[in-house]
């Protein structure tokens, strides 16, 4: 049995049910009783608690800005940083193959385990207790968020990416509108001439579909550039 006392101090929470904590720390390589279900729960919990914190602290921001700020806080690299700060990797339980390949220090695994441990705390002690742990872990990061304006939406980022390389702007066209008035769906095409690239996305509003098509275009351009000879 591990000695979890240092971990408890770092997260300012003591588990009563150490068997539950053990599941939260067990990678899939250990077998069927692993952290993945708790991670699913913890992911939803974390998203919501961060949403609430941003909602209350930033009454001046619209939902697009709130959403981008949240994404910057809950993404894998941020969670992995937090895992390293509380030295969660020491407690990870992995199959020996995964351990040898350095899995205990992999960002994606560390990020998953932050979520599963939070999920486990929620299962054991409920919403307010789990929320306190999250707010303490994220306090510095929530207070020192970049100006929301600097987190640009996908259409803006795509345009700046293209301009930076001396290319022309992308074009957006609605190629399909489906459904009746009460249930519309828009399929939008984003055309990036400089890369012979056409991406499509479908959403319930033109604005959302354009943002999604722009996001796919950015990913595609990055993939193309990184695989170019």
Q: How many CB atoms lie within 10 A of CB 112?
A: 27
| Three-state SS at 12 | coil
4 or 89: whose CB is closer to a copy of itself?
89
Residue 78 interacts with a copy of itself (CB under 8 A): yes or no: no
Least separation in angstroms between residue 5's CB and a copy of itself is: 26
Q: How many CB atoms lie within 10 A of CB 191?
A: 15
Residues 134-163 that bind a copy of itself (CB under 8 A): none
Among 33, 44, 160, 174, binds a copy of itself (CB under 8 A): 44
70 or 155: whose CB is closer to a copy of itself?
70
Alpha-carbon distance 82 to 99, whole Å? Answer: 20
37 or 167: whose CB is closer to a copy of itself?
37
Using the rule CB under 8 A, give the single segment among 5-13, 147-155, 156-164, 171-179 that binds a copy of itself. 171-179
Quote the tokens at residue 58: 């930033």
Question: Which one, of 138, 76, 86, lies nearest residue 107 by Cα?
Answer: 76
Q: DSSP assignment of 126-170, as one string?
A: -HHHHHHHHHHHHHHHHHTPPPGGGS--HHHHHHHHHHHTTPPPP
Active site residues: 43, 115
Using the rule CB under 8 A, give the single segment among 12-20, 34-42, 151-159, 161-169 that binds a copy of itself. 34-42
SS3 content of the chain, % helix, strand, coil (to 5): 65, 10, 25
For 25-43, give one letter per residue: b (16+ CB within 10 A) or e: bbbebbeeebbeebbebbb
Using the rule CB under 8 A, give the single segment among 7-15, 63-71, 142-150, 155-163 that binds a copy of itself. 63-71
87 or 101: whose CB is closer to a copy of itself?
101
What are the φ and ψ backbone dihedral angles of 26, each rounded to 5 degrees?
Answer: -95, 115
Residue 101 interacts with a copy of itself (CB under 8 A): yes or no: yes
Residue 97 interacts with a copy of itself (CB under 8 A): yes or no: no
Quote the tokens at residue 214: 């722009």
Residues 190-209 that bind a copy of itself (CB under 8 A): 200-202, 204-205
Residues that bind a copy of itself (CB under 8 A): 36-37, 39-41, 43-45, 47-48, 51-52, 55, 61-63, 66-67, 76-77, 80, 101-102, 105-108, 122, 127-128, 175-176, 178-179, 181-184, 187, 200-202, 204-205, 216, 219-220, 223, 226-227
């Amino acid at each position: 049995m591990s000695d979890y006392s240092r971990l408890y101090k770092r997260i300012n929470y003591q588990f009563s049910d150490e068997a539950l904590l053990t599941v939260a720390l067990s990678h899939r390589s250990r077998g069927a009783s692993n952290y993945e279900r708790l991670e699913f729960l913890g992911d939803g919990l974390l998203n919501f608690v961060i949403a609430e914190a941003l909602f209350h602290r930033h009454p001046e921001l619209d939902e697009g800005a709130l959403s981008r700020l949240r994404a910057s806080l809950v993404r894998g690299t941020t969670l992995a940083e937090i895992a390293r700060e509380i030295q969660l990797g020491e407690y990870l339980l992995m199959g020996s193959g995964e351990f040898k390949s350095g899995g205990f220090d992999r960002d994606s695994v560390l990020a998953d385990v932050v979520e599963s441990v939070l999920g486990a705390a929620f299962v054991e002690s409920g919403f307010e207790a789990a929320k306190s742990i999250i707010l303490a872990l994220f306090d510095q990061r929530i207070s020192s968020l970049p100006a929301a304006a600097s987190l640009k939406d996908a259409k803006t980022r795509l345009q700046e990416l293209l301009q930076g390389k001396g290319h022309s702007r992308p074009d957006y066209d609605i190629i399909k509108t489906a459904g009746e008035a009460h249930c519309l769906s828009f399929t939008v095409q984003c055309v990036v001439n400089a890369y012979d690239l056409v991406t499509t996305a479908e959403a319930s509003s033109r604005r959302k579909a354009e943002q999604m098509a722009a996001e796919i275009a950015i990913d595609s351009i990055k993939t193309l550039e990184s695989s170019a000879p």
